[in-house]
Amino acid sequence: MSDVFGNRPEDFLNRGLKAAVGTLPVVGGPLNEFLAFVIGDPAQERRDDFMKATLERLIALEASSERLRPENLRDNEQFQATFIQAVRLATTTASAEKKKLLQNAIINSAIGHVDETVRMLFIQMLDGITPMHAVLLAFLDNPRGNPAAIRKAESISLGGALVHLIDAAFPEIQSNGELLNRVVADLNAMGLTTSSGIQVMMTGSGLLERRSTDLGRSFLAFVSDPETKSVP
């Protein structure tokens, strides 16, 4: 039986690199060995680990949805396309949280149905975002769902900015304002939020209003855990 984990996209990349390196005088052999050890094997391991973990989640959830039965997955082209694309993206990240987002997208593409144009846009977005993007989008979709943000908003008497609620909800990112501004700007540029102005002053109640677009809420549903409805 042939190996179901054979002929990965990174295999072709490695072969091309090895062919180029092999033409170098003297050092070609050692560099090929270095490439195979440092990049080739780990890339295959990341891909295989991701596929196995995803299949385990699908099997565990099979009883909860008729759509997750093997015979239905076999006929679900959106699931198959998302699986193939997510596997490719999983080999390019070292983030466990990003891999979980990709797994969620695979499972949600099997359970529900998304317009194919929208699904393809979501895959493109998944390629470019970090877990921090997903966490902030979830927060901006429902600031009232974060107790720390509510307490901060209630403490504001005259006026405050959204960045103050974000700092309260995610104290670990307070020290990197430039990164926060970039992530918020990215979400707005992708059409997932209504504004990138986290420094605008307003009342405490105004700060707790939803700032995700309908597209942003749909994207959240696409990458959220189908059981907990949350992002990692």
List, in order, residues 6 or more apart from 143 with CB less than 8 Å away: 149, 150, 153, 165, 169, 207, 208, 209, 210, 211
Reported as a single tens digit per residue, the pLDDT across 156-188 is: 877 788 999 999 999 888 667 889 999 999 999
Three-class SS state of 6: coil
Q: Rounded mean pLDDT of 221-227?
A: 96
Residue 4: per-residue pLDDT: 42
Which of 41, 47, 46 is closest to 14 using CA atoms? 41
Altogether, the residues listed in the chain come to a count of 232
Average pLDDT over the chain reads 84
pLDDT(194) > 60: yes
Residue 40: per-residue pLDDT: 56
Reported as a single tens digit per residue, the pLDDT across 35-87 is: 555 555 667 788 888 999 999 999 999 888 999 999 999 999 999 999 999 99
pLDDT band at 32 (very low <50, low <70, confident <90, very high): low
Secondary-structure percent of the chain, ordered helix, strand, coil, rounded to 5: 70, 5, 25
Residue 17: per-residue pLDDT: 41
pLDDT band at 144 (very low <50, low <70, confident <90, very high): very high
